[in-house]
Structure 1
C-alpha cells in the first residue's frame, strides 16, 4: 500500500517537482553525493530512502523532506531497471 501511495504522489507531483532549473539542481546534488540512478534498481532506491540507517550511510539525513523526495524520484527515474538509466562516467 505504501508503495502504491508513493507512486501516485510521484505522478501527481511530477510536473511541479521537476521544472528545468530544479531538475538540474537535483541532478547536480546527486552527482555531488556520488549517487547515480543506474547503480541500483528502483526497489533498492526505495529501500534506501525508507531507512534512517541507509539515509545516514549515504549522507542524506540532513536533506529536507522535499529535497529527499525529489532526489528519490530522480534516482528511481534513472535506476538500472528504468528506461533511462544513468551510470557513472556517462
Structure 2
C-alpha cells in the first residue's frame, strides 16, 4: 500500500487522503486504543499466553499531537498521554476507518 497523500488533524480526528483518493477518518481515542505496541496490546509468549497490555483503559481524553512516517509502510503517532511507540501500518490505519 502506498503512503497517504495527505494527513490532517481536524479537531479530535485524523483525516487521511490516500493515493486512490479514498479518505479515512479516525477519532484520536480510537487510534490510541488500537495502538499495535506491546505496551498497549500486550505480547504473546511462545505458548500464546497474553502478557501485559492496557485492556479496558479509558482513552477518551487522549489527543493526537503529531505524527511521522516510518519508512514506506507505517506512521508513528504521538499522543497527549505520552504514548509514541506504536507503528501503525497503512493497512491497519485504513482498516480502523472502515
TM-score if structure 1 supplies the norm length?
0.28
Structure with the higher helix share, 1 or 2: 1
Structure with the higher strand share, 1 or 2: 2
TM-score if structure 2 supplies the norm length?
0.26
State the structure with bigger RCO (CA 8 A, min sep 6), 1 or 2.
1
**Rg: which structure is higher?**
2
